[in-house]
Amino acid sequence: MPLMNHDNALTAGHDRRRFLAYFSAIGLGGTLLPGVLWARAVGGEEITVATIACAEEIAGLRFSEEQRQQMVEGLRSQESQIEQLHAIKLENSVAPAVIFDPVPPGATLDLPAKHPSVHSRVAARAVPANLEELAFLPVTELAELVRRRKVTSMQLTEMYLGRIKRYDPVLKAVITVTEERARRQAAAADAEIARGKYRGPLHGIPWGAKDLLAVKDYKTTWGAGPYRDQIIDADATVVQRLDAAGAVLIAKLTLGELAQGDIWFGGTTKNPWNLAQGSSGSSAGPASAAAAGLVGFAIGTETLGSISSPSTRNGVTGLRPTFGRVPRTGAMALSWTMDKIGPIARSVEDCALVLEAIHGPDNLDRTVKDIPFSWDATLKATTLRVGYNKAAFELPERNDKNQLQHGTKRFDDAALDVLRKLGVRLIPVELPEMPYGAMRLVLTAEGAAAFDELTRSGRDRELVQQTPRDWANTFRTARFIPAVDYVNANRARTLAMQKWHTLFQTVDVIVTPTNVGAQLTATNLTGHPAVIVPSGFRDTSETDATQVPVSLTFLGGLYQEAKLLAVAKAWQDATDFHLKHPVVKV
């Protein structure tokens, strides 16, 4: 159908949509162009002043007729540039030339010094006749049993493999069992330990990897149908480092497709505390498997809540390290400036032990800095400045209309009481206020770029999740983000980073309700680390007596995980929520 003039275009719905389609990727090519390619595929029309006029609505601009005429030639030239870019094969592993650094300009950090790690002393435990009684032990206790050769790595591996086979048909937390690799690693670990070569607390401990980490000779599916047969011929850096620590990889665990939610191409990963619920995501499998005793620990990732949310839902402990702590080489990219890799386990110290093994530069992920992390289990929380998110804690459970606004208030208040009883002097702090939701444009634009070919090829139709809030539609919508606004979102992010840096000059650690306020979005944008710990259990509803976990979050300064973990450990040691585990009915 031929183009209509501007006035008619504004009133004719079908053609107006075609005009708008010209600029469906407004920002990725500069000013107003890349969607032209989509439109040409649909109708083949040239860019004219009429299409520019329609596109102005999306860009939030208004040009004169003369200005539109001047723009035509430049936009046609940009079309050629975009066509050339689309001819380049860009694998997901190719990172942008621009590198994000969470340290704001001019800031100085009191960086941790390198010193020998100090681990907790663990009492010897008798080995039960039924090895499955060990399934829910933290790594600290499993490691002591292995080190003392009271139990072998092979015995633990076979026990966990058996539990996967029994419980995973219900939980759907596993995509691939790496059985052959696991037995080979367990045998090697036992042989080394028998010779007196003990590599440390992860030696011989079975673990699971979120299936966006590449493992040679095994599928790496990213939880998504279009990639369900993908094999990446290399091990991710994190996998290599855990191999070097002697850990035993037994399974590749589920993630919501392309790191969203808990629905993947094989179904919905379940919360072992309540099988009527999904596990939340996107580290759905790591959290569910850790909670259900299918692995000793797991590795998850977070871009905007993907460790925090499933750790909360499944009642496990999650660590989201500082952005730039852990190399992402070999991991699926969703957002190059926000993706982070961290452990999901059964205790705070477990997370510290895993971070010891996986942190530090690999000379491939250029965001990672050579900053020491030395765990000290004896560091006292009372020696640190601990703030609490005053506004969030003081928010009433319900507002004046009886609407729930702080559903975990009684648990959060009780958590503060625990810290006070430990002798921690709590300092009230106000979190910086910024339009963090608007800055989420960064994530959606980068995600759309990471999966540009999936959208342009139309293979996004193969994704299971197809609602307006799911990636397939989000990636299409993101193509309307002007490049100028993507850059300005990052400039606003700089201001947020500066404000949070100033806040962490006054305290070392901040305790906050997990799901009240904007802390989750804010700190994922600024790159600050967080520890999420189970803090109680509540009924799922007034009519359902099933109890599910709730959580508490501790936030730390950039690269200050040692202090952050010390406070979280002190709180966790004074409670017993992390020692409870679900009973999965099969």
Catalytic residues: 210, 282, 306
Q: Which residues pair with 106 in a beta bridge?
A: none
CA 95 from centroid of its chain's CA atoms: 18
User: What single DSSP character describes residue 213?
Assistant: B
Pair 316, 290: CB distance under 8 Å: yes
Listed residue (508, 551, 499) closest to 387, CA to CA: 508
Residue 299, burial from CB neighbour count under 10 angstroms (0-12, 13-18, 19+): buried
Instruction: Report residue 78: phi and psi, to 5°.
Output: -65, -35
Question: CA geometry: angle at 161 spanning 158 and 162, to 5°?
Answer: 85
Q: Cα–Cα distance between 15 and 541 in angstroms, integer? A: 49
Residues 6+ apart with CB under 8 A from 296: 139, 142, 156, 160, 205, 206, 207, 345
- What are the distances in angstroms from CA 431 to CA 56, 99, 168, 390, 417? 37, 26, 41, 9, 21
Rounded to whole angstroms, the Cα distance separating 554 from 320 reads 10
- What number of CA atoms fall less than 13 Å from residue 325's CA on the CB side? 33
Residue 567: both structure tokens together: 């406070």
The DSSP line for 232-262 is -SS--HHHHHHHHTT-EEEEEEP-STTTSSS
Of 270, 282, 290, residue with least CA distance to 339: 282
Q: Which amino acid is at 228?
A: R
Determine how many CB atoms are found less than 10 A away from the CB of residue 324. 24
